[in-house]
Structure 1
Amino acid sequence: MSAEPIDPAWLAAHSLPDHGRGTDKNARGRVLLVGGSMFVPGALGLTGEAVLRAGAGKLQIATVDQAAMHLGVLVPEAAMIGLPTDAEGEIAENAAYRLMDAASHCDTLLIGPGMVSKTSAQAMVEELLGQLDGEQVAILDAAALSCARSMAPRIAALDGRAILTPHHGEMASLTSMAIEEIAADPIDCARSVAAVCNAVVVLKAGATIVAAPDGTALRYASDCVGLATGGSGDVLAGIMAGLAARGADPLTAAVWGVWLHGEAGLRASARVGPIGFLARDLIFEIPALMNEAGSASPAPRRSEAEG
């Protein structure tokens, strides 16, 4: 089956929220980013900066307590929440209690970047998804995807306000399909998971597929081999979270995030070289790309009223 191309025509027809003069940081949305470990303590620095470069107004980062202070220096614009850490250097399984209030007051909850332990990630997902209401968006990335299959009903209960970001290996775990089967028909695979989970699915590959619960499918391929580098997916997740917090619906946030990420890769390729640019090199391209592509729709946020 075919998928619609992600191109300037689609972006023009689905503009990002516009935040004009007089907009404060609350109106641009709040992101709660949960993840990290002592194995990859800097991953959330990439994700967090991408959240802010995509235009979100406020960011809270929750990670293992040993890394929180260092991340606070790396991303000084973010508020930091240190979480209990287990003997393996992972977020402790019982740490979610520290985040209940923050989860209930954010606009977008992003769980998973930089986490290694599937058990810890599942505990976070199980506890925090229950704190969300009908307006908040949840994004499950990396280790947090490991529980998506067993938690499909709970994800579906978010009524389409969830985004799942698997690569082909993670999709194989979600579906029990072989990677070769997924590669043979990624569009149908992404559509099927989107329908079961009632969520937007971003199936990452050289050609990325974005599928919505209603069967909509879009495709983006930049042929940018340099994007196949450590931290690239962390940046993509952050872009989508920032756009969703600003008020973009989940499909729009996902599609724009994929496009911005891919186009940032092309610009980094031209500036640095086709291979060897770093994930952090993508982040600085995001604001200019958004500005050039344009945005025009109003974006009232729940945070405006909360102050």
Structure 2
Amino acid sequence: MNGHAENSRTETAPVVVTPAVLREWELPSAGASKYDRGQVVVVGGDRRSPGAALLAAEASLRVGAGRLTIALAEGAAIMAAVALRESGVVALPERDGQIVGSSIEAARDDLEPADAVLVGPGLDDAEQTLALLDRLPALVGDETTVVLDAYALGVLPRSKARDAFAGRLVLTPNPGEATMLLEAMDDGAGSDDEGAGSGDDGDGSADDDIERTVRALARAYDAVVSCQSRVAHPDGRLWLVGTGHGGLGTSGSGDVLSGAIAGLCARGVAREEAAVWATYAHAAAGDRLAVEVGPLGFLASELLLELPRVLVEVG
């Protein structure tokens, strides 16, 4: 279904996410093997920031995905294979530390059977990311869920992937990125500045602005959108996650969230349910660490161990 059709849908009142709401969306069983829990490919990790891809990749396993591959810059491939021994690794050729976009072809054998593909964590060159994203539709299966984060969001308005993946996209922008993506649709051109826009018009209604922006973004891109504790579906539904602590605003936290969403999508969870589950688990993990470590100063990597505990406690 295209974005224009979704624009005609009626918006519903936001649903506040509680454990009771989540229990109505029972997560899939463990299955008999890792293949029953889905295959994830994380594409990201330029030489300067491979840790972002590793955080996202591990998060996908922590929420129960069965098989994982990371496609990242060749200069970081050996380190990644050692750091996350549970993952397969595809070394992508690079230029000046950035993955060459056309080199994504090297990951074809892993991308084709993937149930969920996450693109963006640790990529830091807009033009190479655009070249990579443009090639992706020809490499993944027709039913693959595609999760976009970071630079992959910044180039999406200019990419062929925008239309190719409509109806199976999950976007994980911050409020500034969400505003930029909407403005790009209006302007007919994209910006690669991740910090563009604020979503706050200065009248004290920042929360209302974010809600409107997230709903509009979901419709415009025919995507499920997770943005600052809000999850929107293109059909007008919106969920609000009331938990979550300010300490989540730390380096790598968004990578953990996007990886958790990809992992749940790979397990066969509907993309809106996966986004709500992951957004809640990510926020609840932050709450737990705020008590155990302190309101500030816990690390994104510490969220990883909390994710399966939250899922068990809620489920």
TM over 0.5: yes
Match of 1:303 in 2: none
Question: What does the per-residue CA deviation read over 1:250-272, in whole Å, with 9 as the maximum and x for residues that have no partner?
Answer: 00110001000000001111111
Checking the alignment, whether the CA contact within 8 Å between 1:56 and 1:246 is kept in structure 2 is yes
- Match among 210, 214, 231 for residue 190 of structure 1: 214
Alpha-carbon offset, residue 56 of structure 1: 0.5
Match of 1:125 in 2: 133
Give the match's secondary structure for 2:298: coil
Checking the alignment, whether the CA contact within 8 Å between 2:40 and 2:114 is kept in structure 1 is yes
Instruction: Return the letter of the residue paired with 1:245.
Output: A
Checking the alignment, whether the CA contact within 8 Å between 1:156 and 1:199 is kept in structure 2 is no
Name the CA distance, whole Å, in 1 between partners of 2:197 and 2:177.
11
Name the CA distance, whole Å, in 1 between partners of 2:18 and 2:75.
42
Alpha-carbon offset, residue 160 of structure 1: 2.1
Question: What does the per-residue CA deviation read over 1:243-288, in whole Å, with 9 as the maximum and x for residues that have no partner?
Answer: 1111101001100010000000011111111111100110001111
Instruction: Return the letter of the residue paired with 1:185.
Output: D
- Match among 83, 98, 106 for residue 106 of structure 2: 98
Checking the alignment, whether the CA contact within 8 Å between 1:209 and 1:218 is kept in structure 2 is yes
Match of 2:64 in 1: 55
- Match among 144, 150, 171 for residue 164 of structure 1: 171
RMSD: 1.8
Checking the alignment, whether the CA contact within 8 Å between 1:156 and 1:196 is kept in structure 2 is no
Name the CA distance, whole Å, in 1 between partners of 2:265 and 2:45.
21
Q: Which runs of 4+ in 1 moved over 3 A?
A: 153-159, 181-184
Instruction: Return the letter of the residue paired with 2:119.
Output: I
Give the match's secondary structure for 1:254: helix
Checking the alignment, whether the CA contact within 8 Å between 2:251 and 2:300 is kept in structure 1 is yes
Name the CA distance, whole Å, in 2 between partners of 1:138 and 1:161.
6
- Match among 280, 287, 293 for residue 308 of structure 2: 287
Identity within the alignment, %: 37
Name the CA distance, whole Å, in 2 between partners of 1:39 and 1:196.
33
Q: 1:178–1:34: structure 2 CA closer, same or farther, 3 Å change rule?
A: closer
1:27-42 correspondence to structure 2 within 5 Å: 27-42=36-51
Alpha-carbon offset, residue 136 of structure 1: 1.2
Instruction: Return the letter of the residue paired with 2:283.
Output: G
Checking the alignment, whether the CA contact within 8 Å between 2:126 and 2:155 is kept in structure 1 is yes
Instruction: Return the letter of the residue paired with 1:59.
Output: L
Question: What does the per-residue CA deviation read over 1:111-132, in whole Å, with 9 as the maximum and x for residues that have no partner?
Answer: 0001111112212211112333
Match of 1:19 in 2: 30
Checking the alignment, whether the CA contact within 8 Å between 1:100 and 1:128 is kept in structure 2 is no
Alpha-carbon offset, residue 157 of structure 1: 4.2
Name the CA distance, whole Å, in 2 between partners of 1:44 and 1:158.
21
Name the CA distance, whole Å, in 2 between partners of 1:46 and 1:158.
24
Name the CA distance, whole Å, in 2 between partners of 1:267 and 1:249.
27
Checking the alignment, whether the CA contact within 8 Å between 2:41 and 2:111 is kept in structure 1 is yes
> Which sections of structure 1, spanning at least 5 residues, go unmatched?
295-307
Q: Does structure 1 residue 203 correspond to structure 2 residue 238?
A: no
Checking the alignment, whether the CA contact within 8 Å between 1:34 and 1:111 is kept in structure 2 is yes
Name the CA distance, whole Å, in 1 between partners of 2:162 and 2:224.
11
Alpha-carbon offset, residue 48 of structure 1: 1.2
Name the CA distance, whole Å, in 2 between partners of 1:32 and 1:244.
12
Name the CA distance, whole Å, in 2 between partners of 1:178 and 1:77.
38
Name the CA distance, whole Å, in 2 between partners of 1:248 and 1:125.
24
More deviation, 39-48/69-78: 39-48
Match of 1:254 in 2: 275
Checking the alignment, whether the CA contact within 8 Å between 1:164 and 1:199 is kept in structure 2 is yes
Match of 2:187 in 1: none
Question: What does the per-residue CA deviation read over 1:113-163, in whole Å, with 9 as the maximum and x for residues that have no partner?
Answer: 011111122122111123333421000011100122234x74344352210
Alpha-carbon offset, residue 39 of structure 1: 1.8
Match of 2:190 in 1: none
Instruction: Return the letter of the residue paired with 1:105.
Output: P
Match of 1:175 in 2: 182
More deviation, 254-263/3-12: 3-12
1:106-121 correspondence to structure 2 within 5 Å: 106-121=114-129
Alpha-carbon offset, residue 9 of structure 1: 2.2
- Report the TM-score, using the length of structure 2 for normalisation: 0.86
Question: What does the per-residue CA deviation read over 1:219-249, in whole Å, with 9 as the maximum and x for residues that have no partner?
Answer: 1133511111001001111111111111101
Name the CA distance, whole Å, in 2 between partners of 1:97 and 1:223.
39
Name the CA distance, whole Å, in 2 between partners of 1:120 and 1:48.
21
- Report the TM-score, using the length of structure 1 for normalisation: 0.89
Q: How many residues align?
A: 287
Instruction: Return the letter of the residue paired with 1:107.
Output: D
